[in-house]
């Protein structure tokens, strides 16, 4: 897949974004081995850094926040370098020189932010876990992968038709919002 096609598909949403994300993941997998050697990360750490990188790229490009002035591969490798440094910093007492890290925003949380917001992330995950499997699937398709055609969602989930998918989407989103509301009320 060319970079131009990848960018177009990530922006397009739905099955194109899913396929482009998977293609991107497979295309640069060699970076994991590179991280094992260069940054002395474990395989799990290198995989985490790499998969977080791909997710960050998918998010930025999908949201239209990638300015396309640099090549997608350069952008991806820069984010990956930052992620590897994050992993090293997590387990090191010596701070990594910040001047070594190129200043390129990728919109995703770095390791420190993730550590501080661990409880918040845990809560966010728990909300979705309270929903049925079909609810989780339809919400992820609609709001993460950008599926907008209810017909397409209905076919993917084996639902009767687009109307059924639309109703389910509304019902599941309301359910999720209600779960969050009740949880926040309990905390007060």
Residues that bind other proteins (CB under 8 A): 21-22, 25, 29, 32, 42-44, 47-48, 51-52, 54-55, 59, 121, 124-125, 127-129, 136, 139-140, 143-145, 170, 173-174, 176-177, 180-181
- Least distance (Å) between residue 88 CB and other proteins: 18
Long-range CB contact pairs, 111-120, < 8 A, 24+: 111/86, 111/87, 112/86, 115/90
- Least distance (Å) between residue 50 CB and other proteins: 9
When the beta carbons of 30 and 95 are compared against other proteins, the nearer one is 30
CA distances 172 to 132, 134, 151, 175, Å, are: 9, 9, 17, 5
When the beta carbons of 102 and 182 are compared against other proteins, the nearer one is 182
- Least distance (Å) between residue 111 CB and other proteins: 15
- Least distance (Å) between residue 151 CB and other proteins: 17
- Which residue, chain included where needed, has tokens 């992820």? 140
- Counting beta carbons within 10 angstroms of the beta carbon of residue 26, is it exposed (0 to 12), middle (13 to 18) or buried (19 or more)? exposed
């Amino acid at each position: 897949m060319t970079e131009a096609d990848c960018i177009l598909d990530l922006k397009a949403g739905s099955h194109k974004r899913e396929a482009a994300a998977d293609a991107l993941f497979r295309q640069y997998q060699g970076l994991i081995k590179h991280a094992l050697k260069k940054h002395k990360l474990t395989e799990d750490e290198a995989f985490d850094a790499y998969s977080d990188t791909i997710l960050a790229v998918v998010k930025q490009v999908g949201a239209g926040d990638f300015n396309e002035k640099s090549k997608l591969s350069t952008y991806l490798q820069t984010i990956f370098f930052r992620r590897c440094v994050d992993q090293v910093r997590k387990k090191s007492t010596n701070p990594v020189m910040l001047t070594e890290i190129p200043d390129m925003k990728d919109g995703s949380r770095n390791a420190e932010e993730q550590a501080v917001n661990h409880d918040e992330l845990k809560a966010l995950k728990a909300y979705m876990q309270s929903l049925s499997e079909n609810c989780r699937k339809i919400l992820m398709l609609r709001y993460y992968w950008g599926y907008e055609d209810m017909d397409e969602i209905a076919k993917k989930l084996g639902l009767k038709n687009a109307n059924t998918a639309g109703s389910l989407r509304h019902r599941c989103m309301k359910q999720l919002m209600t779960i969050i509301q009740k949880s926040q009320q309990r905390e007060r």
